[in-house]
Amino acid sequence: MAGTKNDTLIGKNADFSQAGGPNATSSDANGLNTNGQLWIGSTALNAGSTHINVGNITSPDSSITVGYSSPNITLQTTQTPQVVIRGQVVNLLAIGNTNIYTFPAKFVVTGLVFIAIQVSGGVPNTDYIYNLGWTAPNYLDIAQNISQLGPSETDWESGIFLPASINNFHVVPAGQTVVARIVSIDTGAATTYTARVDIMGYYY
């Protein structure tokens, strides 16, 4: 039963289609009576001179499927987007392991990028060598003994796109933590040499 109780408005539905309601044209049809409907604000006035319309969430390019599972609106992608995982910063002057990212679901790795964060004290002049994977102790699952050298400034990135071969696209199992293992360090004059490890790919 409609009315108020403890200063709370109680009603079966609502009609925001007219500024002067309720009146003879007020109707339940102007309320929320279909799965997934929402009242949506609008800058422009509608035919009833209000800013509130009944609408739905839509995907104009159909890249998201909009559904309803009581009492929730559901959203599901219809495509598998390429993503870039922004990983952790690695010290390239210290042999050891750094946890980069823990994957919540299976992830196909298509590329790796090391992005310089800080270089100071001198110029790196030898390659650092790294492994990347999730299986201890050497973490060889994705990249093995890869050598790279960046210039002295911090505005650089270096990386690899894994070849389009069934043997070279690696799938990280769900729940696994990918680790960067520095095997050999730069022996130049740099006293600080760090880079962030980003991983490219897609969930499936």
Is residue 104 very low, low, confident or very high in pLDDT (cuts 50, 70, 90)? Answer: very high
pLDDT one-digit tens code per residue, 118-139? 888 877 767 788 999 999 999 9
E-strand spans in the chain? 3-5, 8-10, 38-41, 52-55, 64-69, 72-77, 83-91, 96-102, 107-120, 128-133, 143-148, 157-161, 170-172, 177-184, 192-203
pLDDT one-digit tens code per residue, 59-85? 887 878 999 999 999 998 877 778 899
- Map out the domains of the chain as residue ranges: 3-77, 83-203
Smallest CA-to-CA distance from 115 within 97, 95, 134, 100 is with: 100
Architecture of the domain spanning 83-203: Sandwich (2.60)
